[in-house]
């Protein structure tokens, strides 16, 4: 299979518990293969602790084999659409929601067509975008990080250093002392999602207008999942 589904929905304390199918599933599929995977797996494990409705499931589609390195946003969208069509992946187009997670940095200078991409995604799915990158969103999980690192330094976050937007990654690494691409413990930041949701409100959350702006709407989307009621039609 091109994707492997991670969920904790079927974890149960005994074999005698009745198996119930969720009314709605949120599927995350991510540009990055490591950092985002560490994070969303932990978030999924926290589903009950976060107070997410008991009839809502959160899933992560992990890209596998030759598909693992699909990272260009347009290719990721096409890949996600292909996976939704495969019966074995269990995606219900009527009730389920796909969330496509990618960085906005390449659209700052190198790549055109961002507005068209977002428009196409939002026809059926949700785009979860962080500009410049996912590490910015992770940084928001640290109490006081907006005031300390972001508020007076937004231009630095969007500066291209030798072809890379590395400022957020460097700040995060110095702050938490771990390599976000190699250490699964980075996922523990999901325990502080409440802080990230609140701090994200201080930066731009309008993903239709991210050019030249430190931006993220990932916390906004997660907050929406936490508050969602599957018995109410979206």
- Secondary structure in 3-state letters for 36-88: HHHHHHHHHHCCCCCCCCCCEEEEEEEECHHHCCCCCHHHHHHHHHHHHCCHH
* Distance, CA of 232 to chain centre: 24
For 165, other C-beta atoms within 10 Å of its C-beta total: 23
Residue 71, pLDDT > 80, answer no
Question: Tokens representing 171?
Answer: 């700040």
Per-residue pLDDT, 161: 79
Question: Which positions ≥6 away from 111 have C-beta within 8 Å?
Answer: none
Task: Tell me which DSSP letter residue 147 carries.
Answer: I
Burial class (CB in 10 A: 0-12, 13-18, 19+), 110: exposed
**Residue 140 · residue 146 · CB < 8 Å:** yes
For the chain, how far is it from start to end, CA to CA, in angstroms? 30
pLDDT tens track for 22-51:
999 999 999 988 999 999 999 999 999 999
Please state, in angstroms and rounded to a whole number, the distance separating the CA atoms of residues 194 and 180: 20
138 vs 222: CA distance, rounded Å? 13
Q: pTM score > 0.85 for this model?
A: yes
With a cut of 50, say whether residue 117 has pLDDT above it.
Answer: yes
pLDDT of residue 18: 59
The answer, yes or no, to whether residue 16 has pLDDT greater than 50, is no
- Band of residue 14 on the pLDDT scale cut at 50, 70, 90: very low
Q: What are the Cα distances from residue 199, in Å, to 106, 112, 137, 139, 208? A: 24, 29, 10, 10, 20
Dump pLDDT digits (tens) for 147-200.
999 999 999 999 987 667 899 999 999 999 998 889 999 999 999 999 999 999
* Local confidence band at 72 (pLDDT 50, 70, 90 cut-offs): confident
Q: In the prediction, which pLDDT does 11 show?
A: 55
Both tokens of 67, joined, read: 């598909």
88-114: average pLDDT: 92
| Helix, strand, coil distribution of the chain in percent, nearest 5 | 40, 15, 45
| pLDDT above 90: percentage of residues in the chain | 77
């Amino acid at each position: 299979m091109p994707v492997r589904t991670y969920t904790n929905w079927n974890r149960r304390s005994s074999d005698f518990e009745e198996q119930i199918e969720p009314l709605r599933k949120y599927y995350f599929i991510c540009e990055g293969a490591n950092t985002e995977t560490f994070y969303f797996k932990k978030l999924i494990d926290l589903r009950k602790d976060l107070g997410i409705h008991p009839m809502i499931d959160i899933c992560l589609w992990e890209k596998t084999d030759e598909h693992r390195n699909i990272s260009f946003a347009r290719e990721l969208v096409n890949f996600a659409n292909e996976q939704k069509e495969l019966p074995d992946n269990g995606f219900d187009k009527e009730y389920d929601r796909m969330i496509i997670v990618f960085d906005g940095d390449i659209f700052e200078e190198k790549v055109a067509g961002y507005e068209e991409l977002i428009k196409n995604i939002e026809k059926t799915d949700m785009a979860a975008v962080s500009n410049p990158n996912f590490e910015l969103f992770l940084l928001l999980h640290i109490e006081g990080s907006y005031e300390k690192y972001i508020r007076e330094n937004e231009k630095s976050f969007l500066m291209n250093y030798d072809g890379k937007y590395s400022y957020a990654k460097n700040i995060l690494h110095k702050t938490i002392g771990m390599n976000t691409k190699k250490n699964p413990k980075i996922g523990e930041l999901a325990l502080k999602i409440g802080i990230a949701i609140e701090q994200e409100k201080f930066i731009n959350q309008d993903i239709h207008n991210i050019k030249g702006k430190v931006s993220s709407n990932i916390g906004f989307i997660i907050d929406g999942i936490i508050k969602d009621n599957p018995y109410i039609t979206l």
